[in-house]
Amino acid sequence: MEIVRQIAALKTLRQSLQRNGKSLALVPTMGALHEGHLQLIRQARKENDVVIASIYVNPTQFNNPSDLEKYPRNLLADLEMLRREKVDIVFAPEDAEMYPKPAKLSFDFFELEQVLEGAFRPGHFNGVAIVVSKLFHAVQPDRAYFGQKDLQQVSIIHQLVEDLSFDIEIRTVPTVRESDGLAMSSRNLRLDEEQRLVAPALYENLTIAKTELLNGKSWFETKHTRLQALNQLAVVQLEYLELIDLDGFRVAEAYNPASKQAICIAAYIGEIRLIDNILLG
């Protein structure tokens, strides 16, 4: 496994691999790796000759400086996990390498970023788009791999690829969960014992909501009962629980079995913000 810190060195490696006809996969991460990341790696390994993983905590996508400061970092442990998964190249740059000058470009994804994460984390998707664009330009992969847990982010990246004509296939890998249903996330490491016991309630309520919709209950009634259940949990501060039409990532008023839809949730468990979603149909 080769560890690269500079974009110029990464481009040199990539050019050599492409000259030899190797297909390249990119798995972008912010480190603090867990089984969810490893599933992305394994899927990438199945479908490509060479797997490149990036580890970079991107400051421009954090609208909360405290969240950036407290984001878990353990590069040595991450590298050992990637070595066991036989990743070929790890790109682990410093801030000065990714942002030699402050970025002045600003992305606007219009309605795609005006709801849910975009509404509660202003500027977040601009930061995501900037760093993902930088990674795509440096690596020029054939395929890039992202997790379903960040469902709105995946929609944003699809739009980015379409509008900027990146010749890259975006692959979405299903959310990996703990045995109690909690979606795996680097932020889970920050939950204390009580919070960790409560956190699976997010997915539990998503699952109940999906069952109720598929059994004919209206979204209005389903949302009302799920909000009541979640608001009874003392350590949970709900930000949103919404039904989403995935075509355009719009908030929906009713379940439509003919459309691709999902239920999305975000909540603080104590001071830790978690997101999750469940697909319908």
Q: Consult the annotation and say whether 186 binds a ligand.
A: yes
Q: Consult the annotation and say whether 61 binds a ligand.
A: yes
Q: Consult the annotation and say whether 150 binds a ligand.
A: yes
Q: Consult the annotation and say whether 149 binds a ligand.
A: yes
Kindly state the tokens that stand for 174.
């299903």
- State how far the Cα of 22 lies from the Cα of 169, in Å rounded to an integer: 15
Cβ neighbours for 35, distance < 8 A, ≥ 6 positions apart: 176, 184
Q: Consult the annotation and say whether 252 binds a ligand.
A: no
Q: Consult the annotation and say whether 132 binds a ligand.
A: no
Kindly state the tokens that stand for 89.
């190249």
* Nearest in space to 111 (alpha carbons), one of 243, 242, 251, 267: 251
Kindly state the tokens that stand for 280.
């319908």
Q: Consult the annotation and say whether 137 binds a ligand.
A: no
Kindly state the tokens that stand for 115.
């709801």
Q: Which of 37, 124, 158, 224 is catalytic?
A: 37
Q: Specify the length of the chain in residues.
A: 281
**Residue 37 annotated as catalytic:** yes
Q: Consult the annotation and say whether 176 binds a ligand.
A: yes
Sheet holding 50-55, edge to edge: 2-4, 89-91, 50-55, 24-29, 143-147, 169-173
Q: Consult the annotation and say whether 194 binds a ligand.
A: no
Q: Consult the annotation and say whether 187 binds a ligand.
A: yes
How far CA 258 is from CA of 95, 246, 261, in Å, comes to 45, 12, 9
* Nearest in space to 265 (alpha carbons), one of 197, 182, 159, 196: 182
Q: Consult the annotation and say whether 147 binds a ligand.
A: yes
Q: Consult the annotation and say whether 153 binds a ligand.
A: yes
Q: Consult the annotation and say whether 185 binds a ligand.
A: yes
Helix H or strand E segment including 56:
none
How far CA 245 is from CA of 70, 159, 207, 227, 263, in Å, comes to 33, 15, 18, 20, 9
List the binding residues.
Answer: 30-37, 61, 147-150, 153, 176, 184-187
List the binding residues for (R)-pantoate.
Answer: 61, 153
List the binding residues for beta-alanine.
Answer: 61
List the binding residues for ATP.
Answer: 30-37, 147-150, 176, 184-187
Which of the residues are catalytic?
37
